[in-house]
Structure 1
Amino acid sequence: MNKEHSWLDDLRDAMPDLSQNNPHNRIASLHYYLTYYGFDRNHLSSYRAGVVTSRRYNVFTQHFQPANPEAAVLLIHGFLDHSGGLSKTVNAFLEQNCEVILFDLPGHGLSDGSNGEVISFDDYLDALRDVYETVKTNVFCDQFIGAGHSTGAAILYHASSIRMLPFSSLILVSPLYFPHRWTWTRGFVHYTTKLLRRTKRVFKRNSEDRSYRAFIKEDPLQVQWIGTHWLKAMEAWQMRMHYSPVLRIPVYLIQGGRDNTVDEKENIRFYRQKCPNMQICYIPGGRHQLLNEQRVIRADVHERMIEFLRQPSVR
């Protein structure tokens, strides 16, 4: 570990229990984590952090609560990212009096697992279920709203469609189904799995926010390698989703028009077919990282998410 980020080792060693309230007040490395990733504590009344055991993984989980929350949101990051990358969205929810639960997917952030790897997307589903079951007793609000970006959005849809979790509504931001240029990528996957176990990550221009693009290149919790096992797991999951049940709860899909990570047209076609009670918000100038886009676009996305949450039918 680079000395500059030695606090990560300290945090892993001093990981609190989820039952402890405001552990960042006594654990310096956890306080530094919240500061480093820009979590705003001005609207925070209670904060919990710790691990949830899910199969062979310890899943890093956080629970942010304002004083009198009006809604509860379970928020999931995308592939290669981690919960720290969602700090701006967490802050936006807290400012609007929503409590937020988020966790690092297996193989990401502070959760267990090989960096960026997973053998089956079932590991993601199990982590989501186990986190939900663990934290639900500490949630003030009666109903959960699921919100996710990219792979996180896809996992929320999957869990909801098979009735694994009783979300009242979903917000899907740049959801995964077909990756960009999937026909070519699929051939690449089958070719590379015969030769390589993993490939070095290339940081694409997935946001117009220059400071964000610079930050993630230095972020010690960003995944640096793309495992071919993950690509095969994603392809197997995609085939399963083709036969997934129709989901009838309210769904809000937000998609950027300059996304070069997912195939926006095929994805919208898929989710429109599977989610008949779906609203679509199209952001022409937005790239894949809509939750970390330039300030004007990001603020617009957050405002639209909050407006959706406030609709009576959503809760």
Structure 2
Amino acid sequence: MKPGAMIVGCGCRLGQPFDDRMDVVIRQAVLTALDESGMSIQDIDSVVTVAGDTLDGLMVASGAEVAGSYGRRYMNVPSSAGHGLAAAATQIESQGAENVLLVGWGAATRYGGFDPRRNQADPFHARPIGASPAVVAALQANELGVLSGLDETALRAYVQEMSMRAWGKAAAAGASAVPDWARTGFCDGVAAIVLRPASDARRGVRVRDFASVSRGYSPEDDSLDPAKWVGEAVSALSGACARKDTYAVVEAAAPTPIAEIRALSPFGFKSMAQKEFNPSGGGAAAHFGQATALYGVAETSRRLVAGGKGAQGLVVDLTGPLGQHVTAISLQAEVAQ
């Protein structure tokens, strides 16, 4: 029987923007995760990174001294946090590695008025000629405004509640003509996670299962609704993992608040006051690129361990201009007896 993968240490930091260089913050997060796991960097035999692009994934990780030495294997997965976690967990499940360090980061505050999601657009999906990610996101917001069943007051309330959870303060009023519930809350962020083979004698969070789907806006699909994509990804999970009513915590990281609300809707989300949904503030309130959902994985893992053995959580990672690349990650706390 293949060994499962277990999360045994996490380190995270968000900033608007960071005061330190990115490589310094990465190293601090990695040391925190290693300390929590009871291991050192020398114990790690494989490193997986998730960054904004391949060059960033190679150069920054080297500067942070988390890759390229001690004889470790190294893999950069620039597509999404969900794919990065899958790559790390698969190495353990296949017995290709025992101790894996998963690190993701992004300095999204530097984009300001420029939307970086253009490099995540799918060239194989038909879109209106000349439609940028911002234009298609506006089309999505218009469609979801009807589907969500929430008026603008409720949508703004979601933005403020998620900002309070992520940052401990209300969201600042934007100068853009685009409403805040249709905009991405770009920030700087780093998340580091240590994984080991699962064991009944070890305290941590088991990666029960993960499944991904990829969708895009095209004449054949004609839908911009993340709820459909999330439903497909969760349905692809194995056995009991596909049951939406078993999760004590559900984190969704989507490009915009309204897309995030729709991503949570298959699980019964109705009110901003529901603490089991996005207790960390969600990805739209603190979005640092393709690695954003790793922050949700780390924070969910900590909550599950605090909840005791058997507590279950789900993290839904939506990347791409519309959140059309979805990975569902099922987690369960395992506490040593």
With structure 1 as the length reference, what TM-score do the two structures score? Answer: 0.30
Query: Larger relative CO (CA 8 A, sep 6+): 1 or 2?
Result: 2
State TM-score, norm by structure 2. Answer: 0.29
